[in-house]
Structure 1
Amino acid sequence: MTPTDRAADAARPSPDSAIEPVPPPETSVTREPVVAQILHLVWPALAYQGLFLTIQLFDQFLAGRFSQSHQAALTTANYLYWFVTSYTVVVNAGATALVGRFVGGDDLAHARRATGQAILLAIAFGALAAVAGLVGLPALISTLNLEGEGAAHAVAYLNPLAVLLPCYMIEVGGIACLVGAGDTRTGLKVLATVVFINVPLAWGFSHGTGPFPDLGFVGIAWGTGLSHAVGCAYVLVVLARGRFGLKLTPADLVPDSDLIYRLLRVSVPAAIDSVSMGSFQLVFLGMINALGETAASAHGIALRLEALGYLSGAAFATAAVSFVGRALGAGRPDLAARGGWTALALGGSMMTVMGVIFFFAARPMFKSFSPENDPTPVIEAGVPVLRLIAFAMPALASTIVLTQALRGAGDTRVPVLFTWVGFLGVRLPLAYILTRPDVGMGLFGAWLAMFVDIHVRGAFFLWRYIGGKWQQIKV
């Protein structure tokens, strides 16, 4: 055997070495402690959720100077805007999951390409939603038992938001890609800018202050919509300059059918879930609107206050979706599972604390947002439901955090069934029974149905996560 032959034979793997598994690449998601990573991801996400809630509460505060019919219109408008924008998931779910897998596997070229395709989808679906919203709003509102002045106010409020909806889609789609890459700080900076601009715009347009025209109630919506247009521009500038390995170029915006298919394969089931939930929520709202303007106004305020608990769960959910996707991309399903449990434990603890606050401070909290002209009926209707939902915070944490943990893994099909069972099997039929005049439970009966639904779905998501099948899903 020549020296060359011996060298070649030494380089050739032995039978034993050929079957040894190749260890997954060592990345930041596998090197650093899980709790530290979750906390690092969550504080910007928590601040982001707080700023988003600030916009909603500020809008609710501005609406407080108007009549009860305006309050009811704002509640319906917020439901409808949430319904129309809920299908942003058709971009966000796939973007976060796919970018997370690519970044976790250290494939930044495909991560950038997937980001470009997500922006393309955001533009297309945003334009489609804007047209559908402008054409279909009057007919949709008429089906929700909101009549007269309240219906007219709701349509007028939603029109500017529909016009500017593509900007919002691009904003949240770009942020979803950055979250997949492990960046939760940019979203915070974007929304801080949005809030900074929204406050003077919404105030100015609704009051006619300084150079702003007096648009009254509709001015609140113009302030919100225009501020998100600025947020859209901010996100595009960040992606063009490059952040966390994502640097958007014109070449990344050329349609790629394979990546678009992979994005939609994850996102479409999640969007069906989200839009289904939005549709069911509209039916639920119709039941509440049928109870009268006082119930509708109290319901809207209670939802805004409940969001103070929801935001901490949503922040830990953002941390979970980012961590789970990257851990799976790095070939560490065990680490992904640990990250989801950590996010649930920490987020659930914070939500439980907020539940205690809801229970003991419900009345003063409600007084801050009730109509100035006649607050007592709204307060008396709303305080009991806020105290009730305080006891649902742990179950709600399970639903919120584990939904996103599963989406980070690309597990978006089975959770659709949980939504359908929770709403069609529990919330809607139970709310119909409890709000009937002969039962007489009114708004409290509707929220009791929601309370039961949250516990049922929370248990389902816990069962799915414990099962572990999500760890084998390919995206």
Structure 2
Amino acid sequence: MSIPENINVDSSRSPVERVLLLAWPVLLQQALILAAGLYDRWVAGNYLPSDENLHSSYQAALSTVQYLAWSISCFAVLVSVGSTALVARFIGAGEVEDANRVTNQSIILAIFFGILASLVGLWKLPDLIALLKLDPPSDRLAIEMLQPVILFLVFQMIELSGIACLTGAGDTKPGMLVLGGVAVFNIPMVYLFFHGFWILPAFGHQGITLGTAVSHSIGGLVVLTFLIKGRAGLSLQRRLFKPQIILIKRILRVSIPAAIDSLSVAACQLWFLSLVNVLGKEAATAHGNAIGWEGLGYLSGQAFATAAAALVGQNLGARNPNEAARCGWTAFAMGSICMAVMGLVFYLCAEPMLRLFNPYPHQQPVIDAGVPVLRLVAFAMPALAAIIIFTGALRGAGDTRMPMVATWIGFLLIRMPLAYLFTRSTIDLGSLGTIKGWNLGLIGAWWAMFIDLAIRGALFFWRFSSGRWKKVVV
């Protein structure tokens, strides 16, 4: 079967052109997503609740909520990575019918896992929040804010899985249109649910996440519409929309290690957050605001990771591993430059960036804690670029086990032990007694993160340089 004309497998273009063609829609999409997240933080920081003493509690709760909402995208990896890798391989080999079969199975899996996660999530949410050690009443506020996100989770799973299939086919524009549209639509929705309008009641801070959940639900329906009508040679078809165990196993064989990797990152990030939350509401708020701005770097790197995943997978499917490597290195070089520029912005503009979320005099301790950590992470941008972009390239090749191992090394052997050492005055080692910690506060936690990123960045650079990913079978 011939490859549809709108699928980006034109090898006559240079690697730079091919990376840009795939990356720019995702870059725009990620910029809009970031803008929506920053708007949510702006709302939480600039609208005082009736009880001013609750202001820091709401901001600390939102920091935890946004961490957990980000974890949803990690859960979606259970379907999306295998779908992207298989669709890209089939498209590169000219087997569009098989790519179509994968797409239908991907949506079936998204529906199944989305419903399952909603049921378990709503049941266990109070226990999860308790583990994160938020001070009262931030813990109760976080539960209230997360409930809408979890309730509508199935639509976000469909949204991300469908976009992953289209990305594997080399068509990143639907992702830009849908996720970018979700981000743009999210801003007025958050405003309306926060303040209320006409017969719509004011939900207050819970309206922030309710607006986001409704926006993603609409995005999921739009993705279904794209696939029902057909896009980039992919379409949902009644004859294919039934479980095919062999294909499901192939998707999960690639996705499960990637999901373990992503969920390990999410779990360790939440563990790390629990250490920050113990430092107090000001530290938790400063941490969340700095992470929000760090997203300028993270999300721009994700755009080039998406391009790397699609191009590496397509070229391996076309049996052209050398071109796959060239595309991967090109994506890394371009992404590193972009993220380094973001790092310069963090260093030079840290204080006004954080003051945007904390305009009141009583919030000065938050700014004082946040400025040093945002300036520190500016120097980690090249290492973070290697982690993000080479993870995408390796996943496009189906090499999902090494990123998982690197994650465990980085978090369990480096970040978490150092975070305890740098943030605690004493560390209880059980039967081994106690040791004295450095008690550096929030900056200590971010030094632990910085060292972890530097070491993992080097590991990913080495893995992609080795070329072992070229021999992975999916």
* TM-score, length of structure 2 as denominator length: 0.93
1:340-363, Cα deviation, whole Å (9 max, x unpaired): 000000000010011111111100
1:213-243, Cα deviation, whole Å (9 max, x unpaired): 1000101111000010100010000011111
Whether 1:59 aligns to 2:47 is: no
**How far has the Cα of 1:371 moved from its partner?**
5.7
Bigger shift: 304-313 or 81-90?
A: 81-90
> CA contact under 8 A between 2:78 and 2:252: conserved in structure 1?
yes
Whether 1:421 aligns to 2:421 is: no
Partner of residue 340 from structure 1, selected from 309, 328, 349: 328
**How far has the Cα of 1:28 moved from its partner?**
3.2
**One-letter amino acid matched to 1:137:** L
Correspondence for 1:199: 187
Partner of residue 316 from structure 2, selected from 317, 320, 328: 328
**1:269-348 maps to which residues of 2 (within 5 A)?**
269-348=257-336
Whether 1:354 aligns to 2:365 is: no
Correspondence for 2:218: 230
Correspondence for 2:3: none
Aligned residue for 2:11, secondary structure, equals helix
**1:56-455 maps to which residues of 2 (within 5 A)?**
56-64=37-45, 65-66=47-48, 67-370=55-358, 372=360, 374-437=362-425, 439-455=438-454
Whether 1:34 aligns to 2:15 is: yes
Distance in 1, Cα, partners of 2:72 & 2:80: 15
> CA contact under 8 A between 1:313 and 1:348: conserved in structure 2?
yes
Distance in 1, Cα, partners of 2:155 & 2:256: 21
**How far has the Cα of 1:189 moved from its partner?**
0.6
Distance in 2, Cα, partners of 1:417 & 1:374: 43
**How far has the Cα of 1:210 moved from its partner?**
3.7
Structure 1 residues 129 and 371: alpha-carbon distance in aligned structure 2, compared to 1, 3 A threshold: farther
Gaps of 5+ in 2: 1-7, 49-54, 426-436
Distance in 2, Cα, partners of 1:294 & 1:134: 28
**How far has the Cα of 1:374 moved from its partner?**
1.9
Aligned residue for 1:250, secondary structure, equals coil
> CA contact under 8 A between 2:421 and 2:439: conserved in structure 1?
no
Bigger shift: 282-291 or 63-72?
A: 63-72
1:8-27, Cα deviation, whole Å (9 max, x unpaired): xxxxxxxxxxxxxxxxxxx9
> CA contact under 8 A between 1:204 and 1:210: conserved in structure 2?
no
1:75-101, Cα deviation, whole Å (9 max, x unpaired): 111122223441110101000000000
**How far has the Cα of 1:440 moved from its partner?**
2.5
Distance in 1, Cα, partners of 2:447 & 2:153: 33
**One-letter amino acid matched to 2:347:** F
Distance in 2, Cα, partners of 1:90 & 1:238: 22
> CA contact under 8 A between 1:29 and 1:323: conserved in structure 2?
no
Bigger shift: 185-194 or 97-106?
A: 185-194
**How far has the Cα of 1:283 moved from its partner?**
0.9
1:174-214, Cα deviation, whole Å (9 max, x unpaired): 00000000011111111232123211111011112344210
1:81-126, Cα deviation, whole Å (9 max, x unpaired): 2234411101010000000001111111000110000001111111
**One-letter amino acid matched to 2:75:** Y
Distance in 1, Cα, partners of 2:165 & 2:361: 45
**One-letter amino acid matched to 2:350:** A
> CA contact under 8 A between 1:203 and 1:209: conserved in structure 2?
no
> CA contact under 8 A between 2:29 and 2:176: conserved in structure 1?
yes
Greater radius of gyration (CA): 1
Correspondence for 2:470: 471
**One-letter amino acid matched to 2:277:** N
**1:9-20 maps to which residues of 2 (within 5 A)?**
none
Bigger shift: 59-68 or 114-123?
A: 59-68
**How far has the Cα of 1:373 moved from its partner?**
5.9
Correspondence for 1:458: 457
CA RMSD of aligned residues (A): 1.2
> CA contact under 8 A between 1:29 and 1:104: conserved in structure 2?
no
Bigger shift: 255-264 or 435-444?
A: 435-444
Distance in 2, Cα, partners of 1:312 & 1:85: 16
Distance in 1, Cα, partners of 2:472 & 2:12: 24
Gaps of 5+ in 1: 1-26
Correspondence for 1:45: 26
